[in-house]
């Protein structure tokens, strides 16, 4: 039986990416090595950062092909995290904006993986 879920992002430099996510998320990884780091997000989802040089089969795509979503409780939290992440040096791809599903912004990690913070509008 499956007893947990994770997302694995293939990265160029696992320690550099771990440092980026540690600063962005405000938490320490639960596991680190020269080729891998793992964070457990508040939702329980595991976010793994795996050095792509050692992945078998080798990755065929680079970052930016999908969004890793971070749902927050309010539209105001979207704006607050935007200011926080921008202050921490995250590359902002889309500033806070209102779309048909709610308020959102998009940042990128050092490998170009898209990180979408969003709030689903009620009604």
21-79 confidence digits (pLDDT tens): 999 999 999 999 999 999 999 999 999 999 999 899 988 888 888 999 999 999 999 99
Residues of the chain with CATH 3.10.180.10: 67-120
Q: pTM value?
A: 0.91
pLDDT of residue 15: 97
> Span 92-98, mean pLDDT?
97
> At 4, is the pLDDT very low, low, confident or very high (cuts 50, 70, 90)?
confident
| Per-residue CA distances from 72 to 17, 78, 81 (Å) | 23, 7, 9
Structurally, at CATH architecture level, domain 67-120 sits in: Roll (3.10)
Q: Per this entry, what is the length of the chain?
A: 123
pLDDT of residue 123: 67
Q: Token digits for 14?
A: 């696992």
> Span 106-117, mean pLDDT?
96
> Span 78-82, mean pLDDT?
98
Residues of the chain with CATH 3.30.720.120: 6-54
> Which helix (H) or strand (E) is 20 found in, with range?
helix 14-25
Residue 67 burial (C-beta neighbours within 10 Å; 0-12, 13-18, 19+): middle
pLDDT of residue 2: 78
Structurally, at CATH architecture level, domain 6-54 sits in: 2-Layer Sandwich (3.30)
């Amino acid at each position: 039986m499956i007893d947990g879920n994770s997302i694995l992002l293939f990265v160029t430099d696992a320690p550099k990416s771990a440092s980026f996510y540690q600063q962005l998320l405000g938490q320490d990884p639960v596991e680190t090595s020269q080729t891998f780091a793992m964070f457990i997000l508040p939702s329980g989802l595991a976010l793994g950062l795996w050095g792509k040089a050692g992945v078998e089969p080798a990755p065929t795509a680079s970052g930016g092909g999908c969004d890793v979503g971070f749902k927050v409780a309010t539209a105001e939290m979207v704006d607050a995290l935007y200011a926080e992440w921008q202050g921490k040096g995250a590359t902002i791809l889309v500033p806070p904006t209102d779309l048909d599903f709610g308020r959102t912004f998009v940042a990128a990690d050092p490998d170009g993986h898209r990180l979408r913070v969003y709030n689903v509008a009620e009604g």
